[in-house]
Structure formats: structure tokens, C-alpha cells
Structure 1
């Protein structure tokens, strides 16, 4: 009995301490004269930190009742683990960027996030920023929106246009059968070159599937969600067709899943996934690569029975979240700040100009605020055109495990010729459904 009483007293003391900490936090974040302080954690990128620091300073000039402290999310060992540790230790921020949909699902599952659609002003952001179509695939399985995407890289495939022209083509193929035909001509002319040369095709690491499997699968399935909450909702036909295409390429010796230094840039491979961040690096290392001269860009290939105009792709995208541990005053101050930032497209234009990451908007190619950036960087136009055709990562808290299974059970084995596409898909589906139970 004495031991039970000691345990009860200890429990009371813990709750007393927590209550006191919560009281101190609230007092510290809203002063007597009504000034609310919010903590904004920016990505560990000097450009992004500078951008948000500038936005915070400008907002404070318009609103004397809000103070915004901008600091960097530490990567110890990763930004995700640092955020989780901070939340567990009671030192999490009010708001942070750099959150992908899968990690948001983990945080939402532990009730660490505020459903943004429950905050006053959130719907105004969606309308004013002109991002209704872009936001559609972001809805979570419970019907809420936990992330406001900042940027969206509609992942595209790059093609060596010079090689295509040597083979008699003035533009990239659009369907699987057209691509297989191109590969046969490539191998006939250049036996030592490959259609798709990329070591990561055989790498089971979960995030690698964003840049191969999901790009093709999203195109084949019309943007099917694959996982919805705890349900496997993937399109079996589209999944098997995706694997079959890669298997057909392999059979025709069109795939090289080995380490080769810069295979696309040096012409060993003619086809590769590309994000808009690539071009800054190329300007320094491969200045000879010129858009629409010796390389070009396209949306993912589609099965022969699908209109290429309906192609979808994977969205390499991250966004803002607001944390449930923040006070109500902080949560509202945070959403009001975000609303102010996105009330003027010039702020998105500044982001685009400084980061080269396309803002998550439907109007990048029609809004004059972005015209100068796109005129100066025409290689970014296809990314801007397809923001609303890009699908974010799955919204499961187990996204790392599930995407690993795609590789270990199906994709990697098909690439290596160890399993047929239908069997690989069936095996993958089985282990994913077991993991979701």
C-alpha cells in the first residue's frame, strides 16, 4: 500500500510539474501587453532560413502584437528525429517547414499536429494563393489537412535529346511501347549505352521509390493514392504494368542498375529523373548541357491505353505544419502570419527566385508575378506547368517501412530479373497489407 501511495504521489508531482511548465510556456508566449511569440523552425538551408527570417521581420512591422523567432531545424541525426525529440521533451516549435506528407502522418497519428482546416483563415490561404487543385491530393485519410505545401517539385524525366535525334526522334516517347522501340534503336546503334542508367534502381532505401516507382505508377494509375490511412488502395493493373515496363526494358538490356559516375550527364544513359534543383549544379559542372538543345524534359511515360496528356507524377514537396503543443494564441498567430505571407504572390515569387523551388500554386505559368523567373529559366516551365499534376507521398505513419517493401519485394527484384512483375506485385501487396493490420 505504501508503495502504491508513493507511486500516486509521484504521479501527482509529475502532473503538477507539467502543469507548471505549461503555465510558464503560456505566460512566456503571450505578454501582459498582448504580444504573442511564436517559434518558427526553418529547414537547414541558408536560403530558406534567410527567406523566412525576412518574412518574419516584415510581418512584425505590420503587426506589433506578434513576435516571430526564426531558427533552423537541426539534423541530429535527421530533422525528423530532432523534431520528434523536441516534441517529446516539451520544447517543440509553434510552426515549422520541411515536413513531407508521410512524416506529417506520423506526427498526426500521435496527435502532435493541428488540423489546419480547423483554424480560422486556412481556407482563405488556399483561395488567395490559388492552390485548390494542388491541395486536392494532400487531404489525409481522416478528411483533414495537416500540411500546407510551400513548394512542389513535379518530378520530371530528363532525356538526352541529342541521342534521341541521332536515333531519328525530335521529341521523347510518351508511351511504354514507344519507349521500348527507342531503346531497341539505342542498343542497336550504341550497345554500351542504356535507356535508364541509375544505381538506385536496385537500392531498397524507401525514399528511392519516390524517384522511380512512384513517378511511373502515378502516371499509370491517374494519381491513385496507393495507401489511404491503414488501407492498401493501390491499382493492381497499373502497378503490374509499371513493373512490366521496367522488366521489358531489362530484358532488352536497357537498364543499368550499377554505379556509374554521372551517367545521364556523360551520355551513358538517355533517361533519368530530374528535379529543378539539378540545374544549379549543372551550371557549374556541366555547362555544356542546354535545355532543348541536348536535353529536354517530360512527364512520366504512360501505358499504351492511357492518354499521355493525363500523365501524373510524384511531387517532391514539403510544407508547413502547426503543432498541437502550441497555445491557441500561438496557433492562430502562426496561421495569420502564413496567411499574410501568401496574400501577395510577390512573396512566392521571391521564394521561387531565391530557392528555384516552384511554389505550390496552380497559376505559376499564368500569374505575371512569376513571368520574369520563367523567362530567365525556361527549363523550369515544365515543372511550373505540372504542379497540380503531382501527387505527394503516401499519408501513412509507416511510409518508410511500406516504401521499403515496394523495393525489397517487387521493384528491386524485377530490376535484377529475380521475379516476374505479377508475382512481385502480389508479394509486395501481401506484406504491405500485413504491415497495415
Structure 2
């Protein structure tokens, strides 16, 4: 799930915007995010399908209970999604087979996606109806009036079917910016053999335990852990998960961004101590991406790692891995009352405000989020479903050859978003730069985050 983030400053879309708060890390898994209902969200009518017109009325009114209307078959949809090998396009074409509604899939690489979406919005183009939305764009897309607000369109009972990770990733300020597309978080992987040789039958459950275990695991050229701590978005991902693990959050009670909260400083101090004081982190981590971390783990050079789902079956492929049958996956450690916390990587599919086929687009979202798409997307492609019910499906269980799907699902319930308010795409670089300064030993964690706070506040003001 390594992601590189495109950069396009869209000042016109950020006017009069304030950042919304994130919930603290859950102390036990939840089946739905509190943001899904939101205090400002209106309840659906008794019929179960809201007929809220979020687009101004007329033919573009969005009605959940009219997605089977035969007239929709006369409309051709265009969806802009990331597809590097053609498999997503083939999967999505089944929508036409099932519904009779024509669908044109425009495949792009991830690094082009953000620019193409915002360019289409600024030009008021109606050529694109549906777009893939990364979680960090939710605030900007809603506040910038780029995509439809689906909060009162998709019934609350339907929203409750999704995993915590996938639903929270498409929410901003209690509003639904997209329909969940797939589930993703970072997970905890460990080498069972190395832990056993160090005297441990189970992985650490807290970061305090992790630090002590790491000291015994680091010897003879093997480091306890390796991380994607290159100055890039991957570093922000690890930092976010760590902040919530230590009970921190990125917004205060007034919904103001807070990079230097006590929890954030404690988390960064911990990260710095691991690499600079304990020296149990492979120093190459300061240049590593998630793929580099995976390669080191496969080679047996590190004993533990945090990485996205999808590491299997490669970890058990003897042509690529030296740790076949020696590894396991589970919850990332927590601290204190926090059982676990991990950054989300889930994404969604949104309806463009400029679409002329919004009702047909809603029909696609309904289909895409159902088992008709979600089930084969896992059994054929290995992409983790957004529907919690599918994790008990017999075909899905059979396709899970490594028997890890239940462990993967468990982490999804502890997913936490990056602070995805408007402008994050721009000031994320500030955050990663200052976090890097601290873990590289160039600046004290408190001073680094104080400086990050000041610079990010200035960036937010300019974006308004």
C-alpha cells in the first residue's frame, strides 16, 4: 500500500474551511465509526432510502431506493480509478453485466489521480462521474465542493455494514464523502523463530514491551525492527499510528490542528529513542519505504515490522523469502488503555459534483460496495473487503490460503485516519520533515513538533 502523494495547490477550493476533529484511538474494537452518524447527520426516512437532493434538484436528485430504475440503462458512466494491470477495469465492467448500465473505466496511475480529479473540478467538466478517493482527500473534496455529500443518501443501516477502517476513511466532519472501496491499515508482523530464540513465545502487546523485546532481538547483524521512515508520507503513516497508540490525537476540542500535543511528543520521543538511544532499529530505515522494509523482513534482517496487508503469500514464497513459515501477523502494540492503533490506508469511490448521471453513479456505488464486487475482488485479486460479513464467508475463507484474514480484520477495527482536513496534501510535507528531523537526531521531538505546529498553522491560514 505504498502511496506517493501528488501535489496541486487548489486555493479556490479551500475558502472558508475549518479542520474537523478525529476521535481518539479506541480502547476496544468497534463495529462502526462514531463519525458515521454524526450529530449533524439527518436520519433517513422510514422507507430506508433518503431522497435528499444533494445536487440542487431535478434529474440529478440522489435517491437510494431508485438505483434499480430501468431508465438508468440509457446513461453511460465514466469512472476514474487507479488500475496498473487492467484487473480492476475487468472487475468493474461486471457492473454493466449485472445492471445494464454502461460503464467506461479510465485507468490512471496513483500519482496522476489527484491532479486529474481537481483539474476536472476546476474546469467544471462533466466528463467524469465517479472517482477513486484516497482517505487524505476527504476533507478537501467535501469542503471544496468537488464531490457529493452522501451522508443522508446512504442509509445508516447500510453504513454500519462496513469495517471501521473503510468507513472512517471516507468520513470527514461526520459527513460521508465516498462509498468505501477497500479496507486497509498497517499491521504488525514478526519472525516467530527469532522471537523464540530470544525467549518469547508471543509478540509484544504494548510499546513498552516492544522496546524491551527489541533490545534482546538486536544482535549479530539482525535488528529488532525496520521502518519506512524516509522523509515521505510513509513516515507520516507510522507517526499517526504511534500518536494514537500513546493516547494522542491531532485535533483539540475546538477542532484546531495540534501537532505538538503531549501524546504526539511522547510518540515521537519513543520513535527517536528506538533508533538513537536503543539502536534497535535498522538505521537504513531513514531511507526506507514500505517495500524496503518488507524486503528486509523477508531476508531475515529484521525481526519485526509494521506494514500493510498483502505481505502474504510473498512472505511464504521460497523464491522470494528466507522466512517461509516463520512469520505471523497480528495487532500492532498499544500503550496504557489503548489496545492498538494503526493508520488507515482504505479508500473510497466518490460521485463528482459535476456529474450529469448522479443517480446511475449511485447505482454503481451500491453495486461496488456489495458482495457482488467485494467478494470476487478478494477471491480473485486479494483486496480486502469493506463488508464485515464477508470475513465469515466460506468462499472468502477458502481463498485465504495463509489463514490470516481474521487477524487482518482485527486490526481494521483499530484504524485511525491521518488528519485529512483541507490542505493536508500540501502541509503533510511539513509534518514529515519535522518528524524526520527528530528521528534523525537533528532536533529534539518537542522542538520539532513545536516548529511543525507553527508552520502548519501558517499553511492552513493560507489555504482558507
Considering the TM-score relative to the shorter chain, is it more than 0.5? Answer: yes
Residues 201-240 of structure 1 aligned to structure 2 (within 5 Å): 201=229, 203-210=230-237, 212-221=238-247, 224=249, 226=251, 231-233=256-258, 236-240=261-265
- Does 2:74 correspond to 1:41? no
- Does 2:359 correspond to 1:332? yes
Q: CA deviation at 1:341?
A: 4.2
Q: Any conservation in 2 of the 1:94–1:325 contact (CA below 8 Å)?
A: yes
- Looking at CA atoms only, which structure, 1 or 2, has the larger radius of gyration? 1
Q: TM-score under structure 2 normalisation? A: 0.74
Mapped partners of 2:406, 2:223: distance in 1 = 27
Other-structure match for 2:327: 295
Q: 1:253 aligns with which of 255, 273, 279?
A: 279
Taking structure 1 as reference, are residues 286 and 49 closer, same or farther at Cα in structure 2, changes over 3 Å only?
same
Q: CA deviation at 1:170?
A: 1.2
| Larger helix fraction of residues | 1
- Does 2:205 correspond to 1:174? yes
Q: Any conservation in 1 of the 2:164–2:415 contact (CA below 8 Å)?
A: no
Q: Any conservation in 2 of the 1:406–1:428 contact (CA below 8 Å)?
A: yes
Residues 11-410 of structure 1 aligned to structure 2 (within 5 Å): 35-45=74-84, 46-60=86-100, 67-75=101-109, 78-89=112-123, 90-97=125-132, 99-119=133-153, 121-123=154-156, 125-127=158-160, 129-131=161-163, 135-136=167-168, 138-141=170-173, 143-187=174-218, 190-198=219-227, 200-201=228-229, 203-210=230-237, 212-221=238-247, 224=249, 226=251, 231-233=256-258, 236-250=261-275, 251-258=277-284, 262-282=295-315, 283=317, 285-290=319-324, 293-303=325-335, 305-307=336-338, 310-327=339-356, 330-343=357-370, 345-368=371-394, 370-374=396-400, 376-409=401-434
Taking structure 1 as reference, are residues 193 and 139 closer, same or farther at Cα in structure 2, changes over 3 Å only?
same
Deviations 1:14-43 (A, max 9, x none): xxxxxxxxxxx99xxx99998222222232
Q: CA deviation at 1:406?
A: 2.1
Taking structure 1 as reference, are residues 265 and 373 closer, same or farther at Cα in structure 2, changes over 3 Å only?
same
Mapped partners of 2:73, 2:95: distance in 1 = 21
**Structure 1 gaps, min length 5:** 1-24, 61-66
Mapped partners of 2:96, 2:190: distance in 1 = 41
Q: Any conservation in 2 of the 1:113–1:321 contact (CA below 8 Å)?
A: yes
Mapped partners of 1:275, 1:268: distance in 2 = 19
Q: CA RMSD in A?
A: 3.2
Q: Any conservation in 2 of the 1:193–1:268 contact (CA below 8 Å)?
A: yes
Deviations 1:357-383 (A, max 9, x none): 211233444455633233x23133311
**Structure 2 gaps, min length 5:** 1-58, 61-68
Q: Any conservation in 2 of the 1:94–1:326 contact (CA below 8 Å)?
A: yes
Q: CA deviation at 1:148?
A: 1.6
> What is the aligned length?
384
Q: CA deviation at 1:47?
A: 1.8
